[in-house]
Amino acid sequence: MKIAMPVSNGKLCMHFGHCEQFDVYNVDDATKLVSVLERLDAPPHEPGLLPRWLAGKGVTCVIAGGMGSRAQSLFKEQGVAVVTGAPAGDPEEILAAYLSGRLVTGANACDH
């Protein structure tokens, strides 16, 4: 499993399409152990690009604070699961909470 999170200033970016980087974690499905972290600079913002770009990098799940409905649909078309409403904070803590089933999500922080 490969999980990506949008990051700005070292924290989860609440607006998916405007982040500086993506933290991408390789996670063993069986043990839930993280084996590799990649930090990828985000490409220039262009509607519809990020779902294709991240899927092309092998991402299977995206955890975000907020994401528009069009991006969510495009991820679904690529077979990438989307979790929205994650709280702002340290990406590694958010990942640990997600993998342990303790991640509490709120409202999608994006309204378009």
Q: Is 4 helix (H, G, I), strand (E, B) or coil?
A: strand
pLDDT per residue as tens digits for the range 13-22 = 988 888 899 9
Read off the pLDDT band of 107 (50, 70, 90): confident
User: If we measure between CA atoms, which residue out of 2, 81, 80 comes closest to residue 35?
Assistant: 2
Do residues 51 and 30 lie in contact, with contact meaning Cβ atoms separated by under 8 Å?
no
**CATH 3.30.420.130 is the classification of domain 2-99:** yes
Per-domain residue ranges of the chain: 2-99
- pLDDT, mean of residues 1-22: 92
Q: Taking the CA atoms of 76, 49, 65 and 80 in sequence, report the sign of the dihedral they define.
A: positive
Q: Is 76 helix (H, G, I), strand (E, B) or coil?
A: helix
Phi, psi (degrees; rounded to nearest 5) at 80: -105, 125
Note the pLDDT of residue 112. Answer: 58
Q: Taking the CA atoms of 69, 75, 53 and 36 in sequence, report the sign of the dihedral they define.
A: positive
User: If we measure between CA atoms, which residue out of 39, 50, 36, 34 comes closest to residue 110?
Assistant: 50
The pTM of this model reads 0.93
pLDDT per residue as tens digits for the range 32-90 = 999 989 999 999 878 889 999 999 999 999 999 999 899 999 999 999 999 999 999 99
Note the pLDDT of residue 34. Answer: 93
